[in-house]
Structure 1
């Protein structure tokens, strides 16, 4: 039986208080994955003379754990921090890297534009949704601003190691960025790819996302660090994660488009989405957290709302109450 959120369900992830087991594992000669049972992942690349961190964590306090793990294996400076997109859980820990040699915080130009437009609202919204992930929020000095932006692609050279930073297309947000090691075929996808976790689509471009995933498939990754979920250690597993994400996105958006075509309202659209998606996805990380935001965005996009509506703390709560 498919049901709506129970009336007493805690808002978003406010009831998620249990600590997660963190894994820091080497994937290739130069790449490491920092994962935590469905919490947002980070990546690390250690080159000849310096390091790159992909996604800075939610707070400077949390970033210090990742820094300590890096320092356990190298004393090379962390010269670059790459932001895969603008969401607070990915970027607000960036200030912790200033004392570790970080000279550049890199993001796509579209990501910077989104920070200008909605960064403060997103920060306030996400802290309310995920209090555990924002432990030490008082250590956040403010919004994280990139010091270097790019369009489409740029390349870093860590000695003789080539690190490609690319904006392959829209999906999770308008500014999504990946990091690709072509020699080692390691892909850091950000939230363009998830594995055994819900895809958060509250700020997504759902119609464009499948084509962006096609481009990631074409790279032929043999290792993949998704936005959430465990790191994937083989080419087959990497493709499986991309396919998993594609199924999630298509099930959500196709159902919403069909519901809107039939004249369904938001609650009826949610009911239809749950009927289709619960059997495959209801057990995965943050599914119940994401689904109301996901359906709201899918409903909007199906109505022709191209630019995602800004989420505020007030809009979060109103939507949650409307869909309970």
Structure 2
């Protein structure tokens, strides 16, 4: 394997963002495979789902919101703890009083590894952290829920739900039951790399089954385009399931055969490159994904903490 630029240091091309209306209340903020956010407009306030990576980057989303409503932004939901999703939250606080919602598992992960993740992610993908110097620090939820929390934005019911572990142990979705609209966070990706470096791979397919059982009419994945029909929503769930199952199967087979991490990496690429090799951030994700899959298949149930040092050691071992 040829040496290549670390993680996504070579990914410098800006992505075009889109702000798409899904219903009278719901909008998708997507960016050609970069991390997505969601917006729900209630009777008297606005909810943002995933805060973007920096306060400066959040301003672009705030400007998009202001093209459709002047209602105050009062609610920010963190679907999970990763820095690229949460560190822009202070921009919404500047708009006024804001509640920041997260699952108990997400709060625990921020406490345990939030700073390490922040340092690691900024080092992996500098383009996604525009004006990182404006980040005031970690984002802490002000409201934590265990399994499910129902909010009413006036007359509009919105449910925050944890369906099981997957992308992280703390994954949440945001669900508008009256409209069948789901904001999945990184539990679902579509036509983009599925990052699994902090995942629970054996449990993830069952969590996707629980999400599928909701029968979403529209689904906004963590990355990729908004999925605006039941058929497209199902395709996004199935895409993610195929990635996770293929990845973990390769790791399980390799560990049973006594293969090294580097050998399993080569085998996994042979299995996955034909279907997934051309999607956005595949090359970024797959070394981290195989590392986690190899760990889990070897009996390491809790994902190891990624640090900037561990990132580079792993990258050199697999790509050097």
Counterpart residue number, 1:10: 5
Match of 2:225 in 1: 230
5 Å-filtered alignment, 1:170-185, equals 170-185=165-180
1:20 to 15, 21, 26: 15
Counterpart for residue 122 of structure 2 = 127
Out of 265, 268, 271, which is 2:266 matched to?
271
Q: Answer yes or no: is the 8 Å Cα contact 1:52–1:79 preserved in 2.
A: yes
- Distance in 2, matches of 1:227 and 1:295, equals 20
Tell me the CA shift for residue 194 of structure 1.
0.2
The 8 Å contact of residues 155 and 163 in structure 1, kept in 2 or not, is answered as yes
Query: C-alpha separation between the residues in 1 aligned to 2:23 and 2:87?
Result: 27
Report deviation, 1:28.
1.2
Number of aligned positions between the proteins: 319
Contact 2:92/2:98 (8 A) holds in 1:
no
Q: Quick one: distance in 2 between partners of 1:210 and 1:255? A: 16
Question: CA separation in 2, counterparts of 1:78 and 1:100?
Answer: 7
Judge conservation of contact 1:81–1:102 (CA < 8 Å) in 2: no
Matches of 2:97 and 2:152 in 1, distance apart? Answer: 15
Question: Using the alignment, how far apart are the partners of 1:88 and 1:14 within structure 2?
Answer: 17
* 1:281-304 residue CA offsets vs partner (Å, 9 max, x unmatched): 001010000000000000000000
Q: Please state if 1:244 is matched with 2:244.
A: no
The within-5 A match list for 1:1-324 is 4=1, 6-7=2-3, 9-324=4-319
8 Å CA contact 1:127, 1:134 repeated in 2: yes
Per-residue Cα deviation, 1:96-130 (whole angstroms, up to 9, x for no partner)? 00122342000001101000000000000000001
Cα deviation digits, residues 16-65 of structure 1 (max 9, x gap): 11100100000112100000011000000001100000000000000000
String of CA shifts for 1:182-216, please: whole Å, max 9, x gaps: 00000000000000011100000000000000001
CA distance in 1, matches of 2:166, 2:44: 34
Partners in 2 of 1:121 and 1:260 — Cα distance? 28
SS across alignment from 1:100: coil
- Mapped to 2, the partners of 1:118 and 1:221 lie a distance apart of 32
Task: State how far apart, in whole Å, the 2-side matches of 1:45 and 1:254 are.
Answer: 38
| Unaligned segments of structure 1, at least 5 residues | none
- Extract structure 1 runs of 4+ deviating beyond 6 A: none
Unaligned runs of 5+ in 2: none
Q: CA distance change for structure 1 residues 153 and 249 in 2, over 3 Å: closer, same or farther?
A: same
Distance 1:102 1:171 in 2: 31
